[in-house]
């Protein structure tokens, strides 16, 4: 049994054409044609620019689809991947406030129990 090669080609009309070939050179005819990519990679680089490459997957292009999503810092706009949304320079204040709130809640609980 011979190896069969399939060619799935997205035509300009939006239809997908599938054809089975015996020789791989014949199936590569459509690879030379212009392809349409329905998604754009929205990865945010350190410089603040978006990647913007056309891609097939909604997750991103071949270089960025596994990377952690980055969002601008809430204070300065620098790209960051932290959960709170702040960069390394501004994250300290976030954790300090979180710690103070934790202490305040403990103190309020102790005051309610003692009363």
The reply to whether 53 and 84 lie within a common domain is yes
If asked whether residues 45 and 76 sit together in one domain, one would say yes
* 20/65 same-domain check: no
7 with 22, same domain: the answer is: yes
Residue 100 pLDDT > 80: yes
**Residue 22 belongs to domain spanning:** 1-35
| Count of beta carbons in the 10 Å neighbourhood of residue 40 | 14
pTM comes to: 0.39
> pLDDT for 65-75, tens place per residue?
777 777 888 88
* pLDDT tens string 47-59: 778 888 888 888 8
How many structural domains is the chain composed of?
2
Q: Do 43 and 10 belong together in one domain?
A: no
Residues 49 and 29 in one domain: no
Q: Round the average pLDDT of the chain to a whole number and report it.
A: 75
A 10 A CB-CB count for 48 gives 10
């Amino acid at each position: 049994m011979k190896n069969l090669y399939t060619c799935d080609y997205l035509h300009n009309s939006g239809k997908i054409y599938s054809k089975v070939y015996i020789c791989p050179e014949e199936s590569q005819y459509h690879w030379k044609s212009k392809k349409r990519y329905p998604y754009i990679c929205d990865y945010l680089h350190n410089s603040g620019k978006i990647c913007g490459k056309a891609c097939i997957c909604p997750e991103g292009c071949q270089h960025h689809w596994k990377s952690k999503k980055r969002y601008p810092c809430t204070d300065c706009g620098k790209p960051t991947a932290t959960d709170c949304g702040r960069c390394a320079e501004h994250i300290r204040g976030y954790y300090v406030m979180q710690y103070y709130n934790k202490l305040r809640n403990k103190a309020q609980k102790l005051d309610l129990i003692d009363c």
